[in-house]
Amino acid sequence: MIRIQRTVVDSQLFSHTSLSKEQTMIFEALLKEKQIYTYENEQQLQFELILRERILHTAIQLAKSKARFTIFRFSKCNEQYWQRNRLGGFELKQGIAPSAAINDIFANSQLYAFECATAIVIVFYKAVLDTIKIEIFDQLFADLLLYDWHTDQDLKIKTKNGDDYIPGDCLYFKNPDIDPSMPQWQGENTIYLGDELYYGHGIGIKTKEEVIAALNKRRKPAAKNPPIY
């Protein structure tokens, strides 16, 4: 359900506006949600539609890139823009614009390797960068650090639980009974793309069943508990 201030919105709100295919899908999903999404005005709602659309596009772009999946110990980055710290995170180098460093991950993806949580954070940063002015992005995220779920306070990422979710939401597939030799596969962070498809770094773009099947291959022998999300 969508409300603008105290008024409940219906599907006719954007009848006079040209929404993209993805924006229409997101808007319709918001209308069907049990949760109430409240906005100050129509422009604020439009901003969310655009941002979520960019999240979908960026996730697909990263899925098609040459950035590899690896654990923190073996993470890699372009040292022209980032300093790799002892934990395997990427710290923005002094004098480098945050926007340039984020864009480089996609321009020179073959130089990067990271795990799935960092991938999700990268997607969100890039989507925001493509939605707001570059100078505002650089001001907001001047001390950029890419490491696991560490994010700037201005970038608020929440993992959605339950069955009510919409395109652009971050979801987690938990993998019980993980093979002890592969702790990096204890779960998979994903972005829901709509049309029953999910993006997860290291797995790619898959259906829910395909994500679960991929996780099942990384479980200890005779495991009893199936992956859940």
pLDDT tens digits, one per residue of 160-185: 555 668 999 999 888 776 656 666 66
Give the separation between CA 79 and CA 81, rounded to whole angstroms: 5
What is the mean pLDDT of the segment spanning 118-123? 95
- Would you mind telling me the total number of residues written for the chain in this entry? 229
- Which residue has better confidence, 17 or 97? 97
Q: Is the pTM of this model over 0.85?
A: yes
- pLDDT digit string (tens) for 28-64? 999 998 888 999 999 999 999 999 999 999 999 999 9
3-state secondary structure of 70: coil
Give the separation between CA 187 and CA 173, rounded to whole angstroms: 5
Supply the pLDDT for residue 214: 82
The number of beta carbons lying within 10 Å of the beta carbon of residue 64 is 12
Type and span of the H or E element at 92: strand 90-92
Rounded-to-5 percentages of helix, strand, coil across the chain: 35, 20, 40
Give the separation between CA 212 and CA 128, rounded to whole angstroms: 29
pLDDT of 224 above 90: no
